[in-house]
Structure 1
Amino acid sequence: MSNPIKLSLVNPQRFPFFYGYVVLIIGSIGILASIPGQTIGVSVFTDPVKDALGLTRNQFSNAYMIGTLLSSALVARAGVWFDAYGARYVAFFATLLLGASLLVFSVSVEISETIKRALNIQSWSVPFLLITLLFFLIRFSGQGVLTMASRNMIMMWFKKNRGKINSISSITVSLGFSSAPILLNWLIDDHGWAMSWQIMALSLFIFCICILQLYRNRPEDFDLLPDGAEKKELDQEAEEIETHFTLKEAKKTRAFWMFGLVLAFNSFYVTGFTFHIVSIFGSQDYTKSEAIAVFLPMSVIAIFVSTLCNILSDYINHKIYLFIMLLAGVLASLGLLILSQPIGVYFLVGGLGTMGGLFAVINAVTWPSFFGRKHLGYISGKVMSFLVIGSAVAPSLFSYCYTSLGSYKYISYITLTFLLFLIVGSIGVKKPQ
């Protein structure tokens, strides 16, 4: 970096304490800022927006799928941008794009009607194509780039204490994500869905200024070391032992694929469940409020699991987390299968909460621990493309199971089969370092 503090008044070298703790706070806020582009942020808008645009549930889900799939093609490239330009500029432009996309989304009905009048056609294809483009923009900038850049930046500033630091970030993010549906639902009830998106867009534009002032790419840019260590304290032998894998080298290991695919499964299942949560519980005679309320116990479990496992991650083999996450996926799948029974809700909440907690650990701590920091952006960007693809196909697959087969439970047969494949494939996983 020629000038790592350009356009900023903040210099990490002059801070009275280690600047990594500032990075921890602002990076965690950055992950929370991606909520409008995450499924948990979109799901609350699903019913009012599809009705306003005159789209069916399947059409809306398909637009979400296509837009998300298109974004997956560019997410891996964003990892290259992260390695080349750093978290600061990548996160800034991602946040700017996300905010601008939400503004356009807020007037999507007006834009759709204008296009229909100009072309003299009355077809669902106009709003469908419009929101497909908008879903591409918010999924790429929010779920993909902003999340990846913010999380990787935190991990760049810490090494020995990565797990402990990530536990703090995970608690903040879990609380924010779990409360988001409730807060967004309140915002929509009070101001309408269009104004709610405009309020979020304005908040993102303000956060852009915070990014330029406080985001910093890595401690070495300021002659600092991870964890705030002094140069004389640096364990040279440990540094020499650590290997920095390229993406090509990482893809040759079984660990890359098994950990990447279990994260993709989590993204698939959580996205499909969250996107249709009101409909899923409604099919079993639960109210909208009761459906949204399950996020609270899920977040409590996720926070407990992520805190404990983050702290232990500095000392134990991450392969244990892989198998726990797979078993949690089995539990969640069984929960959806028997949701008509009260125990099904407990299975769903327990399984999804455990998966969510472990996702926060594996997606942040495992990649730098397994493959080093030098090519972290490229490697995590590739993994992020797996997650985006998983989240892309989930809403449509869930929707078709319900509209064509009459129940969401049939999705469980697919997920349980996939999990069995991952369990068998994960037996031979070893840490690459």
Structure 2
Amino acid sequence: MKTENLETHPSTESTSETIPSSTAIKSRFFYGWVILFLAMAASICTSPGQTFGISPFNPSLQEALNLTSTQLSTAYLFGTMIASFPLLLIGPCMDHYGIRPTMLAVVFLLGIGCLFTSFVNSGILLFFAFLQLRLWGQGALSLLASNALAMWFHRRLGFVSGLMNVGMAGAMAVVPMFNLWLIDNVEWRGAFRTWTGILWLGLIPCLWIFYRSRPEELDEVPDSHAYLNLLDQREAASPQKKVKTPRDWTLQESFHTRAFWGLLALNAGWAMIATAIIFQIFPFLESRQFTEETGEVMFLWMALSMAIAQFIGGWLSDRAPLNWLMFVGAAGLTAGTFMLWGAATELQIYSFAWVFGAAQGLIMAVGNTVWARYYGRIHLGKIRGINWSACVAGSALGPFLMGVVYDFLGSFDLSLLLFAGIFGVITLGMPFATQPRDPEETLEKEAIA
């Protein structure tokens, strides 16, 4: 089994030592840019399972199924929570079968989930609908789209991740309005069927025809031979700038590193709190006497700041210490939550959106880079799969917690203060989430000393 795995997934080092084909050498076009476009498209198509994609349907679901806010939130809670468990299998499937077949299967199943949702007529069936949407959309497809870039880029991973996340920020601005337009024109059931058509007739053919799991399939290496040759020339002139390729850590080895648990806490906490705020934002604005239009403008500002921060954060991820970038992002989430707690004017709401969106954008940009940089490519699916399951579980707990606090106290203030406190603690731990040291390398240095 071990030999078979190595043959299926060759390491970067062994591949770089082989002589590429003449076609690969002569071609100036790196196929990784096609993968970037496909990963961006896949990321945008996670929208039916994302909170910002589901929230426009909430009033229609409550009215059609005769549900209270608590019943709707409970279905969302358990659907999302249970989705986090089978999600643990997606990473190993990606590592064993490759991203292409796994992603094709996931997109097909997400389409089934959208189709199923269009036929629900009770709270129980809505729970199963949320389970499918959150598992295949927000969970599996998001994981595969972000890991796709890590297979094709290393030195430029931060930059291309920033580009992909700009597309996701655009989806956050456009998809809620698109879903509302669909609801107005074809009703909510027709809207979900439209998403099935987009997935099956749009995304699946593109992935089937153009997607490739790894650059080695095209006699290439991550970042391309041409780019690495250029870097080799630069590093020969400036040896101090040479960047070392990370070793490939196993899942069990990653458990023994401080960075793994720091990153897990950051992502799970962010998923829990950001999802809660976005899911409950319209009830919150109503409780503060703001109009629905304020929420729509707020989402536009948040998406804009997120896009800018993702692009800049991706560029910085290739140049700055990742643990300090995560520290800045976590501090921004803490500050943004405090700002929402104290917001009393539209300007303060928009200021919150700007700060909170920028912090999320920075964390997303670093998050798509840090796992591959810290732990390598070979076992990336398993390692990120654990993290993604924790994120999905956190995103289930947050909205429920915020809703329960409001039901008991008639205010969101206590939950926002609690969230800010959690972010504050996580922020203090981020400087310690440094790149893990290779134990063998450490032993060699100690032996030499």
TM-score (norm 2): 0.86
- Contact 2:334–2:421 (CA under 8 A) maintained in structure 1: no
Which position in structure 1 is the counterpart of 2:186? 191
In structure 1, the partner of 2:436 is 432
Which ranges in structure 2 are unaligned for 5 or more consecutive residues? 10-22, 438-449
The question of 1:156 aligning with 2:151 is answered yes
| Equivalent in the alignment of 2:253 | 249
CA 1:250–1:191 in structure 2 vs 1: closer, same or farther (change >3 Å)? same
Amino acid at match of 2:247: T
- For 2:112, the equivalent position in structure 1 comes to 100
Q: Distance in 1 between matches of 2:151 and 2:366?
A: 15
* Distance in 1 separating the partners of 2:414 and 2:173: 26
Q: Which moved more, 1:131-140 or 1:409-418?
A: 409-418
SS at structure 1 position matched to 2:432: coil
- Aligned pair in 2 of structure 1 residues 49, 230: CA closer, same or farther (>3 Å)? same
How far apart are 1:231 and its partner, in Å?
10
Worse-matched range after superposition: 150-159 or 258-267: 258-267
Matching of residue 211 in structure 1 with residue 207 in structure 2: yes
One-letter amino acid matched to 1:430: T
- Residues 1:421 and 2:433 are matched in the alignment: no
Q: What is the Cα deviation at residue 336 of structure 1?
A: 2.5
In the other structure, the counterpart of 1:314 is 318
User: Post-superposition shift, 1:239?
Assistant: 9.0
Distance 1:371-1:192 versus aligned 2 partners, 3 A rule: same
**Structure 1 vs Structure 2 CA RMSD:** 2.4
Which of 217, 221, 233 is equivalent to 1:221?
Answer: 217
Task: Work out which of the residue numbers 291, 295, 298 in structure 2 matches 1:291.
Answer: 295
Q: Are residues 1:76 and 2:88 paired? A: yes
Structure 2 distance, partners of 1:193, 1:241, is: 49
Q: Which runs of 5+ in 1 are unaligned?
A: 5-11, 110-126
Give the SS at the match of 1:55.
coil
Aligned to 1:140: 135
Partner in structure 1 of residue 103 of structure 2: 91
CA contact (8 A) 2:264 2:390 kept: yes
Match of 1:104, SS?
A: helix
Residue aligning to 2:286? 282
State whether residues 277 and 292 of structure 1, in contact with CA within 8 Å, keep that contact through their aligned partners in structure 2.
no
AA aligned opposite 2:107 = T
- Point out the more displaced range, 221-230 or 386-395: 221-230
Deviation at 1:341, TM superposition (A): 4.3
Offset of residue 427 of structure 1 = 4.1
- Once residues 51 and 362 of structure 1 are traced to their aligned partners in structure 2, the CA distance between those partners, rounded to angstroms, is 40
- Over 3 Å counting, the alpha-carbon distance change for 1:196 and 1:142 in structure 2 is same
Q: Look up the match of 1:119.
A: none
Runs of 4+ in 1 over 6 A off after TM superposition: 1-4, 12-16, 234-240
Deviation at 1:87, TM superposition (A): 1.2
Number of equivalences? 409
**Percent of residue pairs bearing the same amino acid type:** 27
**CA distance, structure 1, for counterparts of residue 104 and residue 338 of structure 2:** 41
Counterpart in the other structure of 1:337: 341
CA contact (8 A) 2:246 2:374 kept: no
Whole-angstrom CA distance in 2 between matches of 1:426 and 1:3 = 36
Judge conservation of contact 2:301–2:350 (CA < 8 Å) in 1.
Answer: no
User: Counterparts of 1:337 and 1:357 in 2: how far apart (Å)?
Assistant: 21
Deviates more, 1:386-395 or 1:15-24: 15-24
Paired amino acid for 1:33: C
Whole-Å Cα distance in 2 between the matches of residues 401 and 340 of structure 1? 20
Give the superposition deviation at 1:103. 1.0
TM-score normalised by the chain length of structure 1 = 0.89
